[in-house]
Amino acid sequence: GAGTVDRMLYYYFGNKEGLFRAVLERAYEKLGEAEQRLHLTGADPVDGMRQLIAFTWNYYLEHPEFIRLLNTENLHGGEHVKKSRRVKSLSFPLLSILTDLLARGAARRQFRRDVDPVQIYVTIAALGYFYLANRHTLSRFLGVDLMAATLRKAWLEHITDVVLGHILVRPAVDNRRPKARG
């Protein structure tokens, strides 16, 4: 019966917290595995950045359980992540992929040299996560279905425009006054 399943779970995970930590670790592991499948080292940096942004958005969109787990873990003040040895040891390839794209883009003079990869990572994650984590309340409040295909597509374009607008090298603007003709 159900008691047998509970006993087996506690045998393997110790308690509910241990079980939750294991589920959280596996979710991070799956994200890392998906990130490692991105092959952007040979991509043009601008195209690569577009692909990286789309990957992040689509991963969150296709894995609502990941968003729910993060929400729950944040409600607990990150205590399970703090106690996890595995989460600390899991590499997060997305940050290294992002760092590589930014460096290669800067070398090609496509991207600014002073861009902080952590800031860009948080920007991409925040814009995707907030939209999806709050889609129910925002849809009600704003009177639109944020999960409509056209709005999801428009949001990905917006995230991409925000990030590229920040990192792309802007042409120098000539601020000199035009000479008076006379």
Burial status of residue 98 (CB atoms within 10 A of its CB: 0-12, 13-18, 19 or more): buried
Strand partners, 168: 111
Q: Does the structure show a pLDDT above 70 at 1? A: no
Tokens of 79: 């205590």
Q: Which of 32-36, 103-107, 141-145 has the lowest mean pLDDT?
A: 32-36
Q: What angle do CA 37, 39, 44 make, to 5 degrees?
A: 155
Give percent above pLDDT 90 in the chain.
55
- Provide the whole-model pTM: 0.82
Strand partners, 111: 168
What contacts 113, CB < 8 A, 6 or more positions away?
Answer: 106
